[in-house]
Amino acid sequence: MNRTAEKVLSVIAVVLTALGTIGAFFGVAILKLITNDPTFKSDFEMELLSDPAYSKEDVELIFSIFDLFSGFIWLIIIALIISMVLNIIGIVNVWNNKNAKLAGIMFIIAGVLCLVISVPSILLYVAGILCFTKKPPLQEEPFVESSYSDTSDTMRPL
């Protein structure tokens, strides 16, 4: 059975997920660089403290939010990596025409892990639905000639 649509959609989704994972790694690196660099941290702190609306506790809260946000990005990175692995397993199953239903399940789970409403997740949802709905063409049974002929005058059985 030809499953070109599923293959194309899942390969595009795995490429976009890989790019998102790399971008998230860079985001964590930049965030850690910002929070761990003492000169940037002191300059940023002085800039915030020069504003009378911010107190010392507010500045500490901002830096703790940066740390919390970097931990959240690591959680996203782990989910994206698991999504890529499930997507690749689904691609292998579709490519070899092994088990389309298993591939569909893998695509849908990978889509959920791939940040529910993103472009790769939508592509994976479509590929998963296609895996479930496409059925192989029916094999026509070979024509068996019966012993009955239309030329005889006998009645045929019901």
In the chain, where the domains are located: 4-132
Residue 53 gets which letter from DSSP?
T
pTM value is 0.74
**In a 3-state reduction of DSSP, which class is residue 134?**
coil
Confidence of residue 152 (pLDDT cuts 50, 70, 90): low
Residues sharing a CB contact under 8 Å with residue 76, sequence separation 6 or more, in sequence order: 24, 115
**Ramachandran assignment for 149, one of left (phi > 0), alpha (psi -120 to 50 degrees), beta (any other):** beta
Taking only the tens place, the pLDDT of each residue in 54-103 is 888 888 888 888 888 888 888 999 999 999 999 999 999 898 888 889 99
